[in-house]
A = this chain, B = another copy of it.
Amino acid sequence: MISDLKGTFSHISNNIKRSAIREILKLTQNPEVISFAGGLPAPESFPVDSLDGLISTMLKEEGAAVLQYDATEGVTELRELLLKKYQDEGIECSLDNLIVTTGSQQGLDLVGKVLVNEGDTVICGLPSYLGGIGAFQAYGAKMAGVPMDEQGMSADLLEAKLIELAEQGIKPKFIYVIPDFQNPTGITMPKSRRIEILELAHKYDVLLVEDCPYREVRFEGEAQPMMYELDNDDHVLTLGTFSKIFAPGLRIGWILGPEAVNEKIVIAKQSADLCTPTFVQKIAVRYLKSGVFESNLKKTIDLYHQRRDVMLSEMEKCMPKGVSWTHPEGGMFLFITLPENMNALDLFHKAIEKKVAFVTGNVFYCNGGGNNTMRLNFSYVNNEKAIEGIRRLAKIIEKEMVTTESEIFA
């Protein structure tokens, strides 16, 4: 090995932390553990049966073309189909606005790559998706967290942060938001809040990155307009993905963004992987055209809706007083807040002993906060296990509450 290997690694390499969730997930891999920790879609939601015939026809009709390199921007027909979905919603966009990515994680990475220099500031919610924060931090971003309320990122506190930064001569590169069924909280921004946040982006001349992995997985309530739609001045990049509405193992995401930014992203993507696998993109084209997409999505929504209901109702029944949680209208996650003096990491270790797992909320707080919070996934575990898991968790929390109280009064 070369003599100073450590010194050979780049700043970027040193910036990237191994995902805390990844480490947590290792502890939960024992099949006896009931895990609310991961972010996995339910395998029951994948259209396994539909794919066989569809791929067979594809190979017969398109032959070698599905196995060849294709354009870096993505397979044109897939881009057109995705575009049409947005246009049907009344969103103004053209082919130059849409790029296919290798999962929306690549979208996050490319956004970081083309926008962030070492030391740049990026604003995100407290808490926010770890994979987003990590992708931006890799390129040297300093994350500035803005607290959330029950309507998502606080507009008042965002403006306060923007003013505070401006006073220090800092203009953030962009604001990162997950408007629908946010990861980790499950909170959705109403239209009014979206408009407020967007107006601040305009006022303070800052781009906005809108991450929408769960948007289509809505159980109840009205769909809120995308911030891309509400924008009228090329301030918004939106990230979409098939991971939660088709299959994550295909790794197909996309970016809907201003042409001038997309141009840079395409060049960066060319250097990153030349193109997203043609084969999976062509499968997606067939799948969207087959009509199974809509019916399968409906089944997925029904499944997660039911799983969320089971979780919420069991939590209602057995969680001790003083514990609160979000009631997401869609998506895959809910968020628990424990009394302030409790530490979710202590709970985590006790939970693993009792064979139930979650992710401690603090990993999503770029400011080191959130020690009394936890994220629970409700898409993966079946109802029977979910009920058992929540019961175990409630008991552990209850016991810990008593211990913590007695410590306080000791």
Contact = CB atoms under 8 A, between A and B. Distances in A.
A274 interface: yes
A406 interface: no
A230 interface: no
Given A10-B117, A103-B274, A264-B9, A43 B64 contact: yes
Interface stretch (A134-142, A152-160, A183-191, A218-226): A134-142
B173 A8 contact: yes
Interface of A: 1-3, 5, 8-13, 16-19, 22, 40-41, 43-44, 46, 48-49, 51-52, 55-56, 59-60, 63-70, 72, 102-103, 105-106, 109, 113-117, 120, 131, 134-135, 138-139, 173, 205-207, 233-235, 243, 247-251, 258, 260-261, 264, 267-268, 270-280, 283
Q: Is the interface of A mostly helix, strand, loop or mixed?
A: helix
Given A131-B271, A235-B2, A273-B102, A66 B249 contact: yes
Given A12-B113, A70-B249, 8 more contacts: A5-B261, A43-B67, A67-B247, A105-B271, A106-B273, A248-B278, A251-B275, A279-B283
Nearest to A57: B52
Contacts of A261: 5
**Copies assembled:** 2
A299 to B, nearest CB: 13
Contact of A8 (B12, B131, B207, B272): B207
Contacts of A51: 59, 67
Contact of A10 (B41, B55, B116, B206): B116
A197 to B, nearest CB: 15
Please provide the 5 A-B residue pairs with the shortest distance between their CB atoms, ordered closest to farther: A43-B64, A249-B278, A67-B247, A13-B114, A1-B234
